[in-house]
Amino acid sequence: MFQHLLAKRSSFEPMLVNVSLLQYLDTGRWFLSVYNDELQPYKVTLIVTEAEGVSTTCPNDCSGRGSCYLGKCDCIDGYQGADCSKSVCPVLCSSHGQYGGGMCHCEEGWKGAECDIPLGDCQVPDCNQHGQCVRGSCVCKPGWKGDFCSEPDCADPNCGGHGACVAGKCYCKAGWQGERCDQVDQQVYKCLPGCSDHGTYDLETASCVCEEHWTGVDCSQPSCGLDCGLHGTCEKGRCKCQDNWTGTKCDQKPCDPRCAEHGQCRNGTCVCSQGWNGKHCTLPGCENKCSGHGSCTPVGGESSCECVAGWAGRDCSIPLEMVCDDDIDNDGDGTKDCSDSECCSQAVCSEHLMCIASKDPVEVLLRKQPPSVTATFYQRVKFLIEENSVQSYARIDEYSER
């Protein structure tokens, strides 16, 4: 339907306001209101006619999933498109995913908002004719960018570090020119300060960037100045240190040269590498830090490990058999309980065959009166088989001089 409003002032000064409005009016009763927000009255005329040249048919008759108004489909919930043929119901997820949290979660091998695109395909198959689809992603040609190669790009996206790329064109900073902003504008640089021949002028910050050991607005002042502290003087832009001091600011105290072999000098103190001790890191430390099973103790200029109970070895890395009545090889050396000599010091193994030790023959002789010079051979060696003597498995009555 076509509505035409005409308004006239009631005063003698003529004025005509023509307002046209195209609106679809469904079958039924309609109420129209016209408001006047001025103080003087107007005469209003409403002309309602049927619009001409407006199509009242819709494509594909809205696929039976919508209503046609003035040639445009008004789709029911769950469908969209010019002819209401495309489903938007996320629960379906094209049968390749599950819906949750307001979106589709695709199964392996599928992607897209509705899980309707195979993983190896691109969402825009031809990449907008500005790229190539490779393994499901668009690889753009030079001059284009974006997920679908739809955005113009610069020949040099970084614009040489001297500009910004906007809509495929580099906009250069002051002092730079060219398509890639990689050419110096010589006319600009001719007018720049010289920075006292100790630096270069930076157009972006509008200031001098001074060389090492120079400072000041125009790089004319040596940079060390008072930075040399109490142990040096500034000469020609550098700190000249006093004896026994070093560093660019003369604030570091040197170490004995021996420190460099097994340590690092930190402000006059030698910090030793692992395994070394001493003021100059020249004393070997304990091996492997005693494996965490002992303490490192200095002994005669060197260090040795004092192992805790249950551990032995130079670096306390050898486990000992400590539980001698559990029928288990606790230290993994192939012997267990009293068969392991490490258990002989415990009372439970004192009578075990492996723990019975032979006495030293010299020790036995020193306890006895020495035989006479006329003693027979048997009298001289019988101490070997006597009770509490060198051996314990033979009886003395089994032997005689014969």
pLDDT surpassing 50 at residue 141: yes
The predicted pLDDT at position 212 comes to 76
Among 150-154, 226-230, 332-336, the range with the most confident prediction by mean pLDDT is: 150-154
User: What is the C-alpha separation between 95 and 281, in angstroms, rounded?
Assistant: 72
- Lowest mean pLDDT: which of 160-174, 261-275, 379-393? 379-393
The predicted pLDDT at position 27 comes to 65
The predicted pLDDT at position 83 comes to 85
Tokens of 195: 């920075």
- Tens-digit pLDDT profile for residues 284-331: 777 777 888 888 877 766 778 888 888 888 888 888 888 888 888 888
> In the structure, what pLDDT confidence band is assigned to residue 377 with cuts at 50, 70 and 90?
confident
> In the structure, what pLDDT confidence band is assigned to residue 224 with cuts at 50, 70 and 90?
low
The predicted pLDDT at position 191 comes to 67
Q: Which one is predicted more confidently, 89 or 373?
A: 373
- Tens-digit pLDDT profile for residues 91-139: 578 788 887 877 888 888 888 888 888 888 888 888 988 889 888 889 9
Among 23-27, 127-131, 237-241, the range with the most confident prediction by mean pLDDT is: 127-131
The predicted pLDDT at position 55 comes to 63
Q: Which one is predicted more confidently, 367 or 291?
A: 291
The predicted pLDDT at position 239 comes to 77
pLDDT surpassing 60 at residue 373: yes
What is the mean pLDDT of the segment spanning 206-232?
75
> In the structure, what pLDDT confidence band is assigned to residue 14 with cuts at 50, 70 and 90?
low
- Give percent above pLDDT 90 in the chain: 1
In whole numbers, what is the pLDDT of the chain averaged over residues? 77
177 in Cβ contact with 185 (< 8 Å): yes
pLDDT surpassing 60 at residue 3: no
The predicted pLDDT at position 392 comes to 61
Pairing of strands 110-111, 117-118: antiparallel
Tokens of 184: 């110096």
pLDDT surpassing 50 at residue 2: no
The predicted pLDDT at position 329 comes to 84
Check residue 230 and report its DSSP letter. Answer: G
What is the mean pLDDT of the segment spanning 177-186?
79
How crowded is residue 64: how many other Cβ atoms within 10 Å of its Cβ? 11
The fold adopted by the segment(s) 43-89 is Laminin (2.10.25)
CATH 2.10.25 location in the chain: 43-89
pLDDT surpassing 50 at residue 255: yes
- CA-based radius of gyration for the chain: 51
> In the structure, what pLDDT confidence band is assigned to residue 1 with cuts at 50, 70 and 90?
very low
pLDDT surpassing 50 at residue 394: yes
- Give percent above pLDDT 70 in the chain: 83
286 in Cβ contact with 307 (< 8 Å): no
Instruction: Name every residue whose Cβ is closer than 8 Å to that of residue 110 and which is 6 or more positions away in sequence.
Output: 94, 96, 97, 116, 117, 118, 119
What is the mean pLDDT of the segment spanning 375-391?
75
DSSP assignment of 246-301 equals: BSTTS-B----TTHHHHEEEETTEEEEPTTEESTTS-EE--GGGGGGSEEEEEETT
User: What is the C-alpha separation between 75 and 82, in angstroms, rounded?
Assistant: 9
pLDDT surpassing 80 at residue 223: no
What is the mean pLDDT of the segment spanning 265-283?
78
- Lowest mean pLDDT: which of 4-18, 146-160, 225-239, 355-369? 4-18
The position carrying tokens 């023509």 is 18
Mark out the alpha helices in 128-248 (DSSP H runs): 186-189
The predicted pLDDT at position 79 comes to 76
What is the mean pLDDT of the segment spanning 205-231?
75
